[in-house]
Structure formats: C-alpha cells, structure tokens
Amino acid sequence: MPRRKRSAPSTRRRNGTRLAALADKYDLYLRSVQSPENEVSFFTRAFHTNYGRTPLVLREDFCGTAAVCCEWVKSRNDRSAIGIDLDPEPLAWGMENNVSKLDDDERRRVKLLEEDARSVRRKKADVVTAQNFSFYLFKTRNELRAYFEAAYRNLAREGVFVLDVLGGSEVMEEDREEVRGHRSFKYVWEQARFDPITHNCLFHIHFRFPDGSGIERAFTYDWRLWTIPEVRELLDEAGFRRADVYWESRDRRTGRGNDVYRRRERAESDPAWVAYVVGVK
C-alpha cells in the first residue's frame, strides 16, 4: 500500500551476480516509496494555510535515511532540519548517501540524532512530522497520546504536526500482496496478518528482480492500524486545538488518486486510501 514513486535508473547485473545481491534496500525504498519533494511541499502548504507564512524549522521523527530533512534544507537557504530515529543503520546510510550529497551550507543545517522520537529538545520546530505511518508502532492509546504530547512540546508557539494515515477494507485483508513494477525491480507490499479485535497488523515490503532473485522482508512493520477518528481524538487530548484531515483528490479522467490532498470534513468510502492528519497548535 505505501506509497507512490517514479521509477529510477536500472540496477545492472555484473559478472553473473544475482541482482538482489547488488541492490541496496534503502535505495530501493527511497525510489519506490518516498517522495521528499511532495512531502516538503505539503508541509509548507499546511503550515502556510494556518499561519500565513513560510515554515523554516522541520523536525522529522522516525526519519530513517533523512531524505525529507535533506530536501527541506535544499528547498530554501534559511531552512534547518532535525532528524530523529532510534535505529543507527538507516541514520548511517542517510549520512553517507543523502546528507553527504548536500553542499557545505546545507549540511550545516541538518542535524541527525539517534534518539527516541518522544524526546523533547530545546529547539522548537515549525513543523513536526512522522511519515510513512511510523507512529503506528505505538499500540495503546496511552503510548500514542504520550508521543503526541511530546510532538506538541517540540513545536514552536505556531506549529503544525503532520501525520500520514492509511486505511480501507483492502488494508485489513490478510494474505494480500500489492505489486508495483519499476524499471529494474518490483516493489511488493504484503499484508501478512490483521486482527480485527485489536487492529494489530503485520506488513512486509519485498523487492524482486527480473533474474528471479529478491530481497524478501526487506522491511517489516508490526503496527496497530489506527483510524482517523482515534488519531484526531488523541491529538485533541494531547493539546492540539484542531486536527484537520487532508484527503486525496481524484483525477477526473481516470478516477484514480492524483496525489493532491485537500482539507475535507467528509469523504467517500474507499477500499484503500492514504490521507494526512494535521494537528494545529
């Protein structure tokens, strides 16, 4: 299910080596799932809609390889970004493959920290974000509320907290795979397990290649599938004065989602959807 992305240059076989052995799972994830330019554009619009000015400081929780942080500082020379993640492996990959490609000034404006996303730091952000459904790892209301409260405290006096969410009946189906082809590989989203009583779920991402090789379970997600009403209620309990939902519009010709998100109070039923919830401080 997550997410969208264009294809990228091909991965070539060298000296008979299987393509999977040559591939880098973080590179494949960035190419098939993430869209940092779109994320930065949306964060900017959500903040400007509420405060009439351009946000300058981003805090990206669960930042992984920090691709969004890097895109943020590239977008303006007065922007800075803080990336937070507990896992040292993607942080190290991001430093080597994303941050290293910035110029000297841009690198100075990115700070990556191996910390719990619930940590609170002195520097306050205009935008705090948790993308790619990362906050779904919290499985109880108390845990999720505590994280939302930390996000609230990490925001400046005027700030927005941007979350993406997913749902729909198809997302709750077990033993279901969604396959998307790219020029040199296939991205496979597997829904391995869903418990309708707890809403706990287990998802995997696999990458498969034309020579029959693959990276199975490149990424695994043991989540609770939170609903939009639950997320909005917990944001309210955490102190946010409003929680807006931005729903994806549809292309009039194809009827498919067009990656344009607009604020909505009602939406039509959809078997598989992705949306944003924006907490406004």
Q: Is 6 within a domain?
A: no
Does residue 239 share a domain with residue 211?
no
Provide the residue type at 218 as one letter: A
Does residue 257 share a domain with residue 175?
no
Does residue 174 share a domain with residue 42?
no
The pLDDT tens digits for 51-68 are 999 999 999 999 999 999
Does residue 236 share a domain with residue 173?
no
Q: Is 96 within a domain?
A: yes
Domain extent, residue 197, equals: 19-24+169-223
**pLDDT, averaged across the chain:** 92
Does residue 229 share a domain with residue 246?
yes
Percentage, residues of the chain above pLDDT 90? 87
Helix (H, G, I), strand (E, B) or coil at 171: helix
The helix (run of H) or strand (run of E) holding residue 180 is: strand 176-181
Q: Is 45 within a domain?
A: yes
Q: Is 232 within a domain?
A: yes
Provide the residue type at 107 as one letter: R
Does residue 250 share a domain with residue 212?
no
Cα distance between residue 152 and residue 155, in whole Å:
5
The pLDDT tens digits for 220-279 are 999 999 999 999 999 999 999 999 999 998 877 776 777 889 999 999 999 999 999 999
Q: 9 pLDDT band (50/70/90 cuts)?
A: very low
Please tell me what DSSP assigns to residue 3: -
DSSP string, 156-170: EEEEEEEEEEEE-GG
The helix (run of H) or strand (run of E) holding residue 245 is: strand 242-250
| Segment among 16-20, 87-91, 141-145 with least mean pLDDT | 16-20
Burial of 19: CB neighbours in 10 Å, binned 0-12, 13-18, 19+ = buried
Does residue 150 share a domain with residue 197?
no
Structure tokens at 126: 């205009």
Does residue 266 share a domain with residue 213?
no
Cα distance between residue 2 and residue 32, in whole Å:
9
Does residue 274 share a domain with residue 154?
yes
Contact 174, 157 (CB under 8 A): no
Cα distance between residue 193 and residue 58, in whole Å:
34
Tokens 């351009």 -> residue: 54
CA distances from 156 to 46, 125, 170, 229 (A): 15, 5, 38, 25
- Asked if the model's pLDDT at residue 14 lies above 90, the reply is no
Total structural domains within the chain: 2
Q: How far apart are the first and last CA of the chain?
A: 30
Does residue 202 share a domain with residue 147?
no
Q: Is 173 within a domain?
A: yes
Q: 2 pLDDT band (50/70/90 cuts)?
A: low
